[in-house]
């Protein structure tokens, strides 16, 4: 038996070698490469990759995946053209900026603002009516004005709380209540955010129409600013009409930032329908900027989200200052938006020119309450 095996091996091995050699030659012949001739270095493909042997055309797998990774657009047969992009790298940048710089500076900015207000309160204390209350009042804002203000104010506060939850809730609230409750609350909050935004826009429009005439800057505002409104010194009141320079600045900031936050919010609410950034960038480039003007619809959404978050955070910071001065920061201020009636001395100290204007127009009728009018002797 062993002898038989040895003999078979003797005949079979050379046969196997010949078969292998001829198969190899056939393969090389098919590829057009002669194994006996030195081969030139592999050709670089147009994308820069190298294809060893060049057996499968000029595009290697590496090149293809590199292009996919770099966000190349393929073609798809469905109407949604953006589905032709497998990897959108800007998405990673967006995530890093949103969860990094925007969240980080956002929270420090807000905490910084609260710190500054606390410091101001400690140093300056509550701004009091220096002459004391007069007892008589004057109408500061009528019902429509107050309704518009609170429509704007309450909707903004709801938007701010639900917006902050979207940005920071997972770090602050989720560890306390757990993912299930947090998920349900955030889902509800997101719907509140979406729908309440319309109330905010209506409030913004009303405030614009009602107060724009009173918020045109004038010479008195310059004087008010030079004195910093007398905010930092007792007895240093600066003259002002219905709105002082500080209030006018707040008014225009609320309107412009409010408009911007609304537009970017609408772009987020109706995805891919309102690409605003390429057009805005093209406009800004007229002033020497060098911003990209061809953006995919997905990039537009990412920019809208980042911009919406930044403007929202800036507005919250500003409104914290406004809420402070309208409540604990200044005696007598809240009544202006509460009952609409402010103490006459408060009005004289903060808006002297407006009081004069009102008294000259309506005389004593502008003033309410106080000592009863003198009785006239019967004739």
- Can you give the binding site for ligand HEM, defined by CB under 6 A? 140, 149, 152-153, 156-157, 207, 243, 247, 250-251, 254, 319, 322-323, 326-327, 333-334, 336-337
Residues whose CB is less than 8 angstroms from the CB of residue 73 and which lie 6 or more positions away in sequence, other chains included: 81, 84, 85
Name the residue nearer to ligand HEM (CB basis): 169 or 258.
258
Could you give the CA distance from residue 264 to residue 159 in angstroms, rounded to a whole number?
14
Give the rounded distance of the alpha carbon of 29 from its chain centre: 64
> Residue 117 Cβ, how far from ligand HEM at the closest point, in Å?
13
Q: What are phi and psi of 275, to 5 degrees?
A: -75, 110
CB of 350 to ligand HEM, least distance (A): 7
> Measured from the CB of residue 318, what is the shortest distance to ligand HEM in angstroms?
8
Cα atoms found within 13 Å of the Cα of residue 199, Cβ hemisphere only: 18
Closest to ligand HEM by CB, 319 or 367: 319
Which strands sit side by side in the sheet containing 341-343, from one edge to the other?
Answer: 341-343, 137-139, 367-368
Alpha-carbon distance 356 to 223, whole Å? 18
Beta carbons within 8 Å of 151's beta carbon, 6+ residues apart? 199, 202, 203, 206
Least distance to ligand HEM, CB of residue 323, Å? 4
The CB-of-47 to ligand HEM minimum distance in angstroms stands at 51
Q: Which of 204, 208, 226, 224 is nearest to 354 (CA)?
A: 224
236, 263 Cβ separation under 8 angstroms: no
Smallest gap, in angstroms, from Cβ of residue 173 to ligand HEM?
22
For ligand HEM, the closer CB: 49 or 230: 230
Q: Nearer to ligand HEM by C-beta: 309 or 336?
A: 336
Q: How many residues does the chain have?
A: 379
Q: Which is nearer to ligand HEM, 157 or 205 (CB)?
A: 157
Q: Report the residue number, 8 or 212, with the smaller CB distance to ligand HEM.
A: 212
Tally the C-alpha atoms within 13 A of residue 222's C-alpha that lie toward its C-beta.
2
Three-state secondary-structure class, residue 341: strand
Question: What angle, 0 to 180 degrees and rounded to 10, lies between the N-to-C axes of helices 179-211 and 245-269?
Answer: 130
Q: Name which of 140 and 237 has its Cβ closer to ligand HEM.
A: 140
Comparing CB distances to ligand HEM, the nearer of 165 and 262 is 262
Q: Cβ distance 240 to 227 under 8 Å?
A: no
Rounded to a whole number, what is the largest CA-CA distance in the chain? 157
Q: How far is the CB of 253 from ligand HEM (least distance, A)?
A: 9
Q: Nearest distance from residue 247's CB to ligand HEM, in Å?
A: 4
């Amino acid at each position: 038996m062993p002898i038989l095996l040895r003999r078979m091996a003797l005949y079979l091995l050379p046969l196997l070698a010949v078969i292998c050699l001829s198969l190899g030659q056939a393969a090389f012949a098919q590829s057009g490469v002669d194994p006996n001739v030195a081969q030139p270095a592999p050709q670089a493909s147009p994308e820069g990759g190298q294809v060893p042997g060049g057996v499968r055309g000029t595009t290697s797998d590496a090149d293809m995946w590199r292009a996919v990774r770099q966000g190349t657009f393929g073609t798809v047969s469905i109407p949604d053209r953006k589905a032709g992009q497998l990897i959108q790298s800007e998405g990673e940048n967006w995530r890093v900026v949103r969860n990094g710089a925007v969240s980080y500076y956002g929270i420090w900015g807000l905490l910084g603002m609260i710190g500054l207000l606390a410091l101001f309160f400690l140093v300056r204390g509550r701004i009091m009516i220096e002459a004391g209350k007069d007892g008589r009042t004057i109408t500061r804002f009528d019902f429509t004005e107050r309704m518009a203000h609170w429509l704007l104010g309450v909707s903004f506060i709801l938007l701010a709380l639900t917006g902050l939850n979207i940005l920071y809730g997972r770090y602050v609230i989720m560890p306390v209540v757990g993912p299930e409750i947090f998920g349900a609350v955030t889902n509800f909050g997101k719907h509140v955010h979406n729908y309440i935004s319309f109330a905010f826009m209506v409030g913004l429009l009303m405030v614009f129409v009602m107060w724009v005439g009173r918020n045109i800057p004038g010479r008195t505002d310059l004087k008010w600013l030079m004195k910093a409104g007398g905010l930092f010194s007792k007895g240093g009141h600066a003259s002002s009409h219905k709105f002082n320079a500080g209030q006018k600045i707040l008014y225009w900031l609320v309107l412009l930032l409010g408009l911007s936050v609304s537009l970017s919010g609408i772009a987020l609410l109706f995805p891919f329908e309102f690409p605003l950034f390429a057009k805005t960038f093209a406009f800004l480039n007229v002033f020497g900027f060098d911003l990209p003007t061809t953006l995919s619809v997905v990039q537009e959404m990412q920019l809208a989200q980042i911009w919406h978050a930044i403007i929202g955070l800036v507005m919250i910071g500003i409104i914290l200052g406004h809420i402070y001065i309208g409540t604990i920061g200044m005696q007598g201020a809240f009544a202006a938006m509460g009952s609409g009636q402010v103490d006459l001395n408060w009005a004289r100290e903060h808006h002297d020119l407006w009081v004069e204007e009102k008294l000259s127009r309506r005389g004593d009728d502008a003033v309410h309450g106080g000592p009863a009018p003198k009785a006239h002797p019967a004739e």
